[in-house]
Chains A and B, each alone.
Chain A
């Protein structure tokens, strides 16, 4: 019987005997809840896995980010910092080689030394996965990018890349070779990485009670500064209103995903701060731009001029104000403000909301209401009725659809909205050659802490994968390669801006808004909350700079 099974059995016995042995006593102390040094966080999502190679939920990345380190850290603006394991990283003159020096005396949480061997083996596991037939997290980002990695001496590593790039330095968790050395590719997808998980980050995973909580304990060998918390407990709340009540009553110190209608009321409470932070999510209106089998209901969808004209009939400001209660920002592209310097400035080409202009542009492109029935016709003379699909996972989308229906209706385009299951919508966006397509428009979102991701999904090679508008542009594909190969943040930002401008004018997607992520925390029990634009947890910045600065008030 494993320790976990023993604990489970013990808990089961306790559950049953507790009811027989102890009389109900409403006035029992809650002293345990307020034990010093414990940060209690109410979260909505539950991790899917603690295996850094296979996890996919953002909460899993957040937790693992507190346990394992990256070689090089990153700050809120996307710049590399020495908050990871590396003290310095120097690029060769040709830009193809990085010499990375580790900080001195690095240790794992069990006190054993963290060496260059651990770093090399962690990278090599992902690099060799390219030819193993198994995809793990990061396989696609090393493929064709990282050529080799080797230990130069006891604290220096050399990384050779196929072209000059600083990508990857902040992407791979460094895991102990003594644990992961025996996990081959055949075992990796089934390996759960049970507690206690020993890493080099500020915390150790102490316990994961599925469906209930995740408990992290302070790593006594963390290189510092901090953490000043003895424990972090992530408590899962299936009901967001219950999480709000728990914050109010002081049962938890911090909650994520605050319901929109509760933010103002919570912020009015003494000792509670509730605010909107930037997220990495973009909600978009996507078009089926495919021609041939799987195409949309009208050929107009494949015409960039038609999609561009519809862009003038979307009042993003009104959507943010009326649907999101102001907790969001009108979007210009798939790159979000949280990407810092990679957030492109394209305000000179942003379309104003102007229904008259939209009509004019449609007429210029050849889409007019020739028969006077209130609907414009496509070039085949057919009235344009567009089918808009919404996934059933998000409650705000139907309201957005209502606005779009009204605005598009005023320019002569009828919209019929259907709410479908996510699974059903996923079958619509699969490869048109394999039965995908059969939709006109959809509202959905992209979200990733890495700016590469939203740019990558529109490559031609992603049709059948994640390119759900089936849009293809060879120049864009080339620019994506340039983006990947850009040697510095400035170069990447420059290429990203060109890509985004192309996307904006071509309009396979109209980015609608960046919803804010709403968090609330108590200031009477915990101090050290940062005044940053990204939230204390779930910021996508690793290592998380907030978690090591929080302190429980005496």
Chain B
């Protein structure tokens, strides 16, 4: 029953997003045909009329354009990119998905593992050297602007030490050899490290706070009084009870996996969805923006729905 309720809620949210997707992009200032040509050369009023007809902009917004939009979305057809002439929106977005999943996915796994470990250890012994050092670094990492961190890593490790390349995932590999694989990894290290460091701080701080909070509970005192070892208390009693807020944060962050780390992708010229969003906004590529908006919104809704369902498994009180 809960699953049905959650699915219905997610479905309704997605429908509202689809509606918003239509109206938001049409409420933006300026005429769409003007955006189609930007400040292109030699444009005449006749050409503008031609463009309106070609893109269906000469038909009434409601119901013609709206119905056509709904049917297209239902078919997964977002039309053609304004910027990349002749390319469908899915052609443009498709190749950008994997680099983003790779970047943010791996960075999240590293950040979750490192952040939870640092947070749990720091929270278990508050005030210790590890806690003070770990918390300070975590706070620093959390507070640091991501683009700045990216630039620092880039200058130190790519420009000065020359351990890693500056260029993102650009096509340097020439053949299908192990050499190309190693190139891909080398080019991924700095961007992944940037996202991972920034995210680690967030997880560490939250985990520390949760562990400190739970460690004051009676059942922890009882466990200690029973003579259970420190590590076992931490592993069996503290962490399981501290994981609810962490699941919330993970689910929120996973929702943004698809949206990508926009600033990191821009700093490292990483060809993912975040950079595509920036480029599409700069080029006023509304069909692409509209599709990205849908993808980001729907993925966030779906991940949150999964997190909600997971909650009920972790804490049965939630489903009551």
Contact = CB atoms under 8 A, between A and B. Distances in A.
A and B physically associate: yes
B99 A15 contact: yes
A212 B169 contact: yes
A17 to B, nearest CB: 7
Interface in A355-377: none
A19 B185 contact: yes
Interface string B140-171: 00000000000100110011001111111111
A177 interface: no
Interface in A393-444: 393, 420-427, 430-431, 444
B35 A426 contact: yes
Interface stretch (B38-46, B61-69, B308-316): B38-46
A54 B50 CA distance: 14
Contact of A32 (B42, B154, B172, B283): B172
Contacts of A248: 159
Most buried by B among A42, A212, A393, A421: A212
Contacts of A26: 163-164, 186, 189
Interface string A243-262: 00110110110000000000
A292 B17 CA distance: 42
A236 B170 contact: yes
A382 interface: no
B176 interface: yes
A26 B165 CA distance: 10
Interface in A205-240: 207, 209-213, 215, 233, 235-239
Contacts of A235: 167, 170-171, 269
Interface stretch (A43-51, A335-343, A497-505, A512-520): A43-51
A462 interface: yes
A25 interface: yes
Nearest to B286: A423
B276 to A, nearest CB: 6
Nearest to A9: B98
A248 B160 CA distance: 9
B95 interface: yes
Question: How many B residues touch the partner, as a band?
Answer: 35 or more
A545 interface: no
Nearest to B267: A239
Contacts of B28: 423
Given A14-B184, A426-B31, A245 B163 contact: no
The range of chain A's interface size is 35 or more
A524 interface: no
The residue in A19, A51, A55 that gathers the most chain B C-beta atoms within 10 A of its C-beta is A19
A425 to B, nearest CB: 8
B155 A245 contact: yes
A14 to B, nearest CB: 6
A444 B39 CA distance: 10
Given A26-B164, A56-B41, A249-B159, A209 B171 contact: yes
A448 B34 CA distance: 19
B227 interface: no
A46 B275 CA distance: 12
A259 B168 CA distance: 20
A35 interface: yes
A48 to B, nearest CB: 5
B162 A423 contact: no
Nearest to B87: A192
A98 B181 CA distance: 56
A14 B169 CA distance: 13
B269 A237 contact: yes
B45 A431 contact: yes
A11 B172 CA distance: 13
A427 B54 contact: no
Contact of A236 (B30, B38, B269, B282): B269
A12 to B, nearest CB: 5
A12 B172 CA distance: 15
B269 A242 contact: yes
B275 A238 contact: yes
B102 to A, nearest CB: 6
Given A30-B165, A211-B275, A14 B181 contact: yes
B205 to A, nearest CB: 27
A181 interface: no
Contacts of A30: 162, 165
A211 B268 contact: no
B29 A12 contact: no
Contacts of A444: 39
B245 interface: no
A393 B278 CA distance: 13
Given A210-B95, A423-B35, A426-B31, A16 B102 contact: yes
A381 B66 CA distance: 49
Nearest to A27: B163
A189 interface: yes
Given A22-B182, A251-B166, A423-B30, A191 B86 contact: yes
Given A17-B181, A426-B35, A189 B54 contact: yes
B11 interface: no
Nearest to A463: B45
A51 B86 contact: yes
Interface string A469-495: 000000000000000000000000000
Nearest to B281: A421
A42 to B, nearest CB: 8
A211 B81 CA distance: 14
B96 interface: yes
A21 interface: yes
B83 interface: yes
Contact of A12 (B54, B85, B98, B186): B98
Given A422-B284, A465-B45, A33 B172 contact: yes
Interface in B4-33: 28-31
Interface string A92-127: 000000000000000000000000000000000000
B92 interface: yes
Given A135-B50, A453-B42, A456-B42, A245 B166 contact: yes
A431 B45 CA distance: 9
Nearest to B179: A32
B58 interface: no
Contacts of B92: 210
A249 B217 CA distance: 55
A248 B165 CA distance: 11
A55 B85 contact: yes
Interface in B195-228: none
A15 B155 CA distance: 25
A3 interface: no
A51 B85 contact: yes
Given A12-B98, A238-B269, A190 B80 contact: yes
A187 B75 CA distance: 23
Contact of A35 (B48, B158, B174): B174
Contacts of B37: 56
Contacts of B106: 19
Interface string A2-18: 00000010111011111
Given A18-B185, A32-B179, A235-B167, 11 more contacts: A15-B98, A19-B102, A21-B181, A22-B181, A212-B269, A233-B170, A237-B269, A239-B269, A249-B158, A427-B29, A464-B48
Interface of B: 28-31, 34-35, 37-45, 47-48, 50, 54, 80, 83-87, 92, 94-96, 98-99, 102, 106, 151, 154-155, 158-159, 162-174, 176, 178-186, 188-189, 265-269, 271, 275-276, 278-279, 282-284
22 contacts: A21-B181, A22-B182, A24-B185, A32-B174, A33-B165, A49-B84, A141-B42, A209-B95, A210-B95, A212-B171, A233-B171, A239-B268, A246-B165, A246-B166, A249-B162, A393-B282, A422-B284, A423-B34, A423-B284, A426-B35, A427-B30, A465-B47
Q: Which 4 A-B pairs have the closest CB atoms?
A: A423-B30, A211-B271, A424-B29, A246-B166
